[in-house]
Structure 1
């Protein structure tokens, strides 16, 4: 018994010591593995973020390159330099049709080809305006100054209200609308909401091979004409007829509605009751 107790007293502390050492080593291994795992995750996150940044930079470079290529690949129309035109001409539908008819020659035969814009041809700036429109009046002096800056472009103005035959053909939905025509074929519309000579010149230079002739300025004579800079007090009969038609439609559909019928019946019943009370008093 004494030997057995001595053996137990010796073995138990030894086992406890071995267990503590093993647990400490296991804990150190777990901590070490956790640290290594965290380090690997951080490294992966760094590489992932670097890859994302790299992809983002490459995408931005690709977009910039695409924009540069699209800007450089714009095919500018070739305006003929043979004629020098005078001031703005106010035209009617017949005169505008004459100006937009193609002249015989190679430009006429190849007007549907991709290289049609590169062939020299007549360039016409057409302003669709209305005499009563205040925005057309604001744009008038700046448009009147265009022939001085671009003498090789024919500038004409047409009243889109009086001559409506071109509105549907060229998609004119509002005034003023400035359109560039090359060899009788519409090229582009001026889409800015501010109508100034500088923006008009930028619009023309961006689409054609022409640059402004000298400095851009508007004189006092440009405010006098040909296109008037003060709106007229004309009666728009089309607008009046439109309002009459709208009011007539509203009255018709209102009279056919149940609400209107109930309202009429209420008035009739009230009138009958009032007449019955007067007869009873009499």
Structure 2
């Protein structure tokens, strides 16, 4: 994935402890007044009283230095989330195969600095970690990765390019592929042949949303900056890159 792409998991609501004001920005209108505008969603004022939106995640000066030099932290102003997460595994899909060794690799770890319930929403610019946590990991809640657990969420942190065995272009791919190596999946489309997100007029390529060109992360489905995503017929803007109507998002990658 292009390095400028940041983490994305949509905040679909806040727990009861947060004074929540409904965001007014619809899909594609940017961070201001979106679900990722912390000033709106949690009634938080930026440090220094400047009422900045970007400051809750980024800083032009004195950015954090993550524990691993290879970590993805683009001028990051939040605490470094160093937790080890349990990855998704099941009889039908094992994300630990072709794994980076880190279920929260790349942008996903940035998402976890809010969503896993270990770092407060208002923690930024070196402030104390004393605010509200996103700990509601129930269906419809904003918590993801709570208790270091990503095993009940869509698999991330694996090499999508290595696992996919299905044919490439979503416009012509209607049948399963043929696996050529162990643990490939015939019903996942390849992303190296121009695969684009269904029903997104920007024709965004899936390959461009993979971390380091191959790793599946939160940002493969979500657009944290609310610029390239689509809302479709949903009543809530989940920051997804294809509509949920008719499962366009799922069918972008899955052959069903």
Bin for the TM-score computed over the shorter chain = under 0.3
- Larger strand proportion of the pair: 1
Please give the TM-score of this superposition, normalised by the length of structure 2: 0.22
Please give the TM-score of this superposition, normalised by the length of structure 1: 0.21
- Greater relative contact order structure (CA < 8 Å, 6+ sep): 2
- Larger helix proportion of the pair: 1
